[in-house]
């Protein structure tokens, strides 16, 4: 007997409707998943096809070049140039190292090479490669090589017409090998021969550290090479034993290096188990969290970290992590903004590739990468605008920004160097007047005052000034160059004729006056001379120590550490300060 629909209970109808609706939703979801899977598979298939297609095209292009090009090609050079151009289009950090560049790679990563332990430079006036700076306790210094020695031959091979790279390659070699080095010493006008034994050179990451007369420590770290964390830890322990009551940790000009060493250095100041940095990339297997692994040296020692626009990568991890943990005050100017991580990939025929695989995130969760490298769909490279940065918070609640580098807690700008110093330093000085003066000064002075105290006298500076005036030294004043560029713009826009009298008057007033500029920039030039002279007697250790006398940013850091109340107030969140 048929049952009337209105005799079905209302609850049963609702239950049935819900079941049907649920089944429909499942179908829709299943269909959507299928569509997504198909689309994803199609997208991957399309990507794979593009990769295969372009590899085929590249292969055929080179085969035709090799077979038909008018000249015989060097495969290593042509393909190497192609690889380098491809990688350079991605970012500056993805780099190919063929087998013959492995020594350079080892030097970069470990700070190690086998050689004599000296900087060399090309002397423009002589047209020769010279010893510029022997390293302390290294073969060059031990056999008696000095700044200014002109390299004539290596094991009998003439070097007088060779460039820096060629001479450097021949000075390096296998550790333990001995060669004959013939040089000319300008100060005595004598040719000299030295037997030099190459050895493994480990460049110190910490050129100088020490407790100053104010009881505060200073530590300069110039690179994050393997083992630098241990160097820093040992230096801090030694300075604490000497009574250090605060530390200026100088990372200015430090372009970075090992991420693990940055973690090791942060570990000196914070407890074991703290998250320092997280790597996140396309592949799950390269993602990693780095935490402090051992007990710290001191979690209460007041620390000021000095940074500038050349502090990058591992320097930014170190300064940024300490800032995010409210463990140190960061001082100086905004850092470079490199928030990318590279991994080393082994390649056939003993090559390697340094490949960008991750972005890193410091404890607050921010990434400080400044440049956005876009590659999909023909995208272009762009700098992250300030308006697009996001606010994060330190452990104590202080606001910090992502993108564009680490903003210092206290901004202190360094004094700008006048343009004449760049020319005198040999960047463009074909007269080599400053270098010649330093070499001559060293020859005339067997000893000088201690590194911390030495300063070129006014009488010596006047002697240097007269030598410059008597030389063929030439330079461009920045004001003169700026006026020249302005004149070009005025001509282009049609204003020059009307303003010509003013331009001519300015040209006369802004015409470089060497004697006047040497007097006006006396302090900066004296510091340049002083640094080069001190390095010749006390090596890099002494040169860094000597700069502390006049370093504006270091003085500001010391002053802050001596003002305990101000130091700690900078590490408190704003809401706490407002109470």
146 catalytic residue (yes or no)? no
248 and 388 part of one domain: yes
188 and 282 part of one domain: no
3-state secondary structure of 409: coil
Residue 85 lies in a domain: no
From the candidates 147, 338, 354, 526, which is the catalytic residue?
338
178 and 318 part of one domain: no
* pLDDT surpasses 80 at 132: yes
Averaged pLDDT for residues 54-69: 93
Averaged pLDDT for residues 66-95: 93
* Angstrom distance (rounded) from CA 233 to CA 238: 9
324 catalytic residue (yes or no)? yes
Q: Would the CA dihedral through 324, 328, 332, 337 be positive or negative?
A: negative
Mean pLDDT of the chain: 90
From the candidates 149, 324, 326, 551, which is the catalytic residue?
324
Residue 331 lies in a domain: yes
The b-or-e profile of 323-353 (16+ CB within 10 A means b, else e) is: bbbbbbbbbbbbbbbbbbbbeeeeeeeebbb
pLDDT at position 203 = 86
Question: Which band of pLDDT confidence, cut at 50, 70 and 90, is reported for residue 478?
Answer: confident
385 and 451 part of one domain: no
> pLDDT digits over 225-265, tens only?
999 999 999 999 999 999 999 999 999 999 999 999 999 99
Residue 361 lies in a domain: yes
Residue 60 lies in a domain: no
Question: Which band of pLDDT confidence, cut at 50, 70 and 90, is reported for residue 427?
Answer: low
Question: The domain spanning residue 149 has which CATH number?
Answer: 2.30.42.10
396 and 468 part of one domain: no
128 and 232 part of one domain: no
The DSSP call for residue 93 is: T
224 and 189 part of one domain: no
pLDDT at position 34 = 55
332 and 379 part of one domain: yes
Name the domain boundary from 411, 430, 463. Answer: 411
Residue 84 lies in a domain: no
pLDDT at position 6 = 40
From the candidates 223, 258, 311, 313, which is the catalytic residue?
313
Residue 92 lies in a domain: no
pLDDT at position 288 = 95
Residue 17 lies in a domain: no
254 and 190 part of one domain: no
Question: The domain spanning residue 231 has which CATH number?
Answer: 3.90.226.10
287 and 330 part of one domain: yes
181 and 222 part of one domain: no
Query: Do the Cβ atoms of 335 and 311 come closer than 8 Å?
Result: yes
3-state secondary structure of 122: strand
Question: Would you say how long the chain is, in residues?
Answer: 579
Q: What residue numbers bound the domain in which 460 lies?
A: 419-562
For residue 290, what are the CA distances in angstroms to 212, 267, 317, 426, 442?
Answer: 34, 11, 11, 43, 48
Name the domain boundary from 169, 202, 235. Answer: 202
* Angstrom distance (rounded) from CA 362 to CA 407: 14
What residue spans of 202-293 are helical by DSSP H? 228-241, 259-266
Name the domain boundary from 202, 234, 269. Answer: 202
Query: Do the Cβ atoms of 371 and 383 come closer than 8 Å?
Result: yes
Number of domains composing the chain = 3
Residue 302 lies in a domain: yes
400 and 434 part of one domain: no
338 catalytic residue (yes or no)? yes
């Amino acid at each position: 007997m048929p049952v009337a629909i209105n005799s079905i209970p209302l609850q049963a109808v609702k239950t049935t409707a819900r079941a049907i609706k649920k089944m429909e939703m499942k179908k829709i979801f299943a269909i959507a998943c299928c569509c997504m899977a198909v689309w994803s598979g199609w997208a991957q298939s399309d990507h794979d096809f593009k990769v295969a297609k372009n590899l085929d095209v590249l292969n055929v292009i080179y085969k035709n070049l090799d077979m038909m090009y008018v000249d015989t090609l060097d495969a290593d050079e042509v393909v190497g140039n192609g690889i380098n151009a491809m990688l350079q289009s991605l970012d500056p950090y993805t780099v190919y190292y063929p087998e013959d560049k492995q020594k350079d790679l080892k030097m970069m990563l470990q700070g190690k090479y086998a050689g004599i332990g000296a900087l060399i430079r090309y002397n423009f006036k002589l047209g020769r490669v010279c010893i510029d700076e022997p390293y302390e306790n290294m073969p060059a210094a031990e056999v008696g090589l000095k700044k200014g020695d002109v390299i004539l031959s290596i094991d009998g091979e003439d070097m007088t017409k060779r460039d820096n790279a060629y001479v450097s390659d021949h000075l390096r070699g296998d550790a333990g090998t001995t060669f004959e080095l013939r040089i000319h010493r300008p100060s005595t006008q004598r040719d000299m021969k030295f037997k030099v034994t190459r050895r493994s050179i480990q460049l110190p990451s910490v050129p100088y550290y020490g407790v100053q007369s104010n009881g505060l420590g200073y530590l300069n770290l110039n690179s994050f090479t393997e083992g630098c964390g241990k160097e820093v830890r040992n230096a801090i322990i030694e300075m604490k034993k000497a009574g250090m009551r605060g530390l200026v940790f100088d990372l200015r000009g430090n372009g970075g290096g090992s991420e693990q060493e940055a973690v090791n250095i942060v570990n000196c100041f914070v407890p074991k188990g703290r998250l320092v940095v997280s790597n996140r990339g396309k592949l799950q297997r390269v993602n990693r969290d780095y935490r402090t692994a051992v007990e710290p040296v001191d979690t209460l020692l007041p620390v000021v970290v000095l940074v500038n626009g050349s502090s990058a990568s591992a320097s930014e991890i170190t300064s940024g992590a300490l800032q995010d943990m409210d463990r140190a005050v960061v001082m100086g100017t905004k850092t470079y903004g490199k928030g990318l991580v590279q991994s080393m990939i082994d390649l056939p025929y003993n090559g390697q590739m340094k490949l960008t695989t991750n972005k890193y995130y410091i404890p607050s969760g921010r990434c400080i990468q400044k440049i956005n490298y876009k590659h999909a769909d023909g995208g272009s490279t762009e700098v992250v605008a300030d308006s697009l940065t996001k606010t994060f918070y330190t452990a104590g609640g202080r606001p910090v920004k992502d993108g564009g580098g680490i903003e210092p807690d206290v901004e202190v700008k360094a004094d700008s160097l006048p343009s004449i110093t760049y020319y005198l330093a040999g960047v463009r000085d074909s007269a080599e007047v400053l270098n010649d003066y330093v070499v001559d000064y060293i020859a005339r002075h067997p000893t000088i005052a201690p590194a911390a105290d030495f300063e070129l006298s006014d009488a010596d500076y006047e002697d240097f000034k007269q030598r410059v005036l008597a030389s063929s030294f030439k330079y461009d004043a920045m004001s003169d160059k700026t006026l020249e560029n302005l004149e070009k713009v005025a001509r282009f826009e049609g204003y020059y004729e009307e303003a010509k009298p003013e331009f001519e008057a300015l040209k006369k007033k802004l015409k470089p006056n060497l004697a006047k500029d040497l007097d006006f920039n006396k302090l900066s030039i004296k510091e340049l001379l002083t640094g080069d002279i001190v390095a010749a007697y006390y090596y890099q250790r002494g040169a860094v120590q000597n700069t502390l006398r006049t370093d504006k940013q270091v003085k500001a850091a010391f002053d802050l550490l001596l003002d305990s109340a101000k130091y700690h107030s900078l590490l408190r969140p704003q809401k706490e300060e407002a109470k």
